[in-house]
Amino acid sequence: MEMILGTLDVLILRGLTWGPKHGYAVARWIEESSRGSLTVLDGALYTSLHRMEDRGWIAAEWGVSPLGRRAKFYRLTPPGRKQLQNETKEWTDYVAAIGRVLRTTAEPG
Amino acid sequence: MSDSGWRLFRPFWRPRVRDEVDDEMAFHFAMRIDQFVADGMTRADAERHAREQFGDVGEVRATLVGIDTFRRRRMDLRDKLDAILMDVRFAARSLRAHWGISLTIIGTLAMAIGATTAIFSVVNAVLIRPLPYGDAERLGFVFLDFRIRGVQAGVPLGDIPDVRSGAPGLDIATAEISLYQPFDPPGVTPRAVTSALVTANIFDVLQVPIVLGRNFVADDAKLNAPPRGPSFDTIAVVTPSRPTQIGILGYDFWQQQFHGDSSVIGKTIGVSMVPIQIVGVASPSAVLFTKNGQRTPDVWRVWRTDFTRASKLSGGLTLIARRKPRVSIDAVQRQLDQIGAGLRSRLPLLRSAGAYPRFDPMQAYLVRGVRPAIIALMGAVVFLLLIACANVASLLLVRAAQRERELVVRSAIGGSPWRILRQLLVESVLLSSIAAVVGVTLAAFAVPLLVRLAPSDVPRLTDVSIDRTVLLFALAIAGAVSIVAGTAPAIRVWKPRIAAVLRTSTRITAFGAPTRLRNTMAVTEVALSFVLLIGCGLMVRTFVALTRADLGFEPSGVLTFRLTNRIFRGPADFASFVPRIHDALVAAPGVISATMSMALPLGGSNPSGPLGTTAARTDSTLFREASYRYVLPDYFETMRIPLLAGRTFRNEEDVPGQRVVVIDDETARRSFGHESAIGKTLVARVPTATYQELTVIGVVKHERHTSLVGSEMPAIYFPEAVVTNGGGAWIVRTTGDPMALVPSVRAAIARVNPELFIEEIRPMTSYVDGAMAPTRFALTLIGLFSVIAVFLAAVGLYGVLSSVVRLRTAEIGIRMAFGADRANIFSLIIVHGFRLAAVGLGVGVVLALATTRVMTSLLAGVQPTDPITFATMSVLFLCVVAAACWVPAHRASALDPMIALRED
The DSSP secondary structure of B480-538, one letter per residue, reads HHHHHHHHTTHHHHHTT-HHHHHH--SSS-TTHHHHHHHHHHHHHHHHHHHHHHHHHHH
What average pLDDT does this structure show over B485-494? 65
Phi-psi region of B139 (alpha: psi -120 to 50; beta: other; left: phi over 0): beta
Pick the residue from chain A with its C-alpha nearest to B54. Answer: A42
DSSP state of B641: P
Q: How far apart are CA B175 and CA B198, in angstroms?
A: 4
For chain A, which residues lie within 8 Å of any Cβ of chain B, measuring from their own Cβ?
22-24, 27-28, 41-44, 46-47, 50-51, 53-54, 65, 69-72
Written as one letter, the residue type at B792 is: L
Torsion angle (degrees, nearest 10) of CA B188, B189, B195, B201: -10
Cβ atoms B498, B408 nearer than 8 A: yes
Determine which helix (DSSP H) or strand (DSSP E) holds B144, and give its type and residue range: strand B139-146
Closest CB from B28, B57, B67 relative to A51? B67
* Predicted pLDDT at B225: 44
**DSSP per-residue codes, B315-373:** -EEPEEEEEPTT--HHHHHHHHHHHHHHHHHH-HHHHHHTEEEEEEEHHHHHHTTTHHH
Question: pLDDT tens, B527-543?
Answer: 999 999 999 999 899 88
Q: Which of B47-51, B220-224, B577-581 tops mean pLDDT?
A: B47-51
Residue B24 near chain A (CB below 8 Å): yes
Q: Which residues face B593 on adjacent strands? A: B733
Count of alpha carbons within 13 Å of B187, Cβ hemisphere only?
Answer: 3
| Cβ–Cβ below 8 Å for A42 and B30 | no
What average pLDDT does this structure show over B31-55? 91
Determine which helix (DSSP H) or strand (DSSP E) holds B839, and give its type and residue range: helix B822-851
Q: Which residues face B809 on adjacent strands? A: none
Residue B75 near chain A (CB below 8 Å): no
Cβ atoms B728, B721 nearer than 8 A: yes
Q: Shortest Cα distance from B86 to chain A (angstroms)?
A: 23
pLDDT at B456 over 60: yes
What average pLDDT does this structure show over B657-685? 88
Q: How far apart are CA B151 and CA B606, in angstroms?
A: 11
Q: How far apart are CA B295 and CA B290, in angstroms?
A: 8
Cβ atoms B457, B470 nearer than 8 A: no
Weakest mean pLDDT among B285-289, B428-432, B628-632, B650-654:
B650-654
Residue B71 near chain A (CB below 8 Å): yes
pLDDT at B229 over 50: no
Listed as own residue / partner, the contacts of B259-268 with beta carbons closer than 8 Å and 24 or more positions apart are B262/B212, B265/B212, B265/B213, B267/B185, B268/B244
**DSSP per-residue codes, B165-213:** HH-TTEEEEEEEEEEEEEE--TTS--EEEEEEEE-TTHHHHHT--EEEE
* Predicted pLDDT at B2: 41
Taking one residue from A and the other from B, the number of pairs with CB-CB distance under 8 angstroms is 61
Residue B740 near chain A (CB below 8 Å): no
* Predicted pLDDT at B234: 31
* Predicted pLDDT at B711: 82
Q: How far apart are CA B844 and CA B841, in angstroms?
A: 5
Please indicate whether residue B634 or residue B411 has the higher confidence score (pLDDT). B634
Weakest mean pLDDT among A1-15, B365-379, B642-656:
A1-15
* Predicted pLDDT at B519: 82
| Cβ–Cβ below 8 Å for A46 and B24 | yes
B224 confidence band (pLDDT: 50, 70, 90): low
DSSP SS3 for B876: helix
Pick the residue from chain A with its C-alpha nearest to B28. Answer: A24
Helix axes B417-453, B57-97, angle to 10 degrees: 70
pTM over 0.90: no
Helix axes B764-807, B371-412, angle to 10 degrees: 20
| Cβ–Cβ below 8 Å for A46 and B25 | yes
What average pLDDT does this structure show over B601-619? 83
Torsion angle (degrees, nearest 10) of CA A93, A94, A98, A103: -20
pLDDT at B1 over 60: no
Q: Shortest Cα distance from B30 to chain A (angstroms)?
A: 10
Nearest-CA neighbor of B515 among B288, B830, B772, B803?
B803
Q: How far is CA A65 from the centre of its chain?
A: 21
* Predicted pLDDT at B489: 63
What average pLDDT does this structure show over B232-256? 66
pLDDT at A47 over 60: yes
The torsion angles phi and psi of A81, rounded to 5 degrees, stand at -60, -45
Q: How far apart are CA B398 and CA B390, in angstroms?
A: 12
Relative to beta strand B274-282, strand B245-249 is parallel
Q: How far apart are CA B771 and CA B549, in angstroms?
A: 11
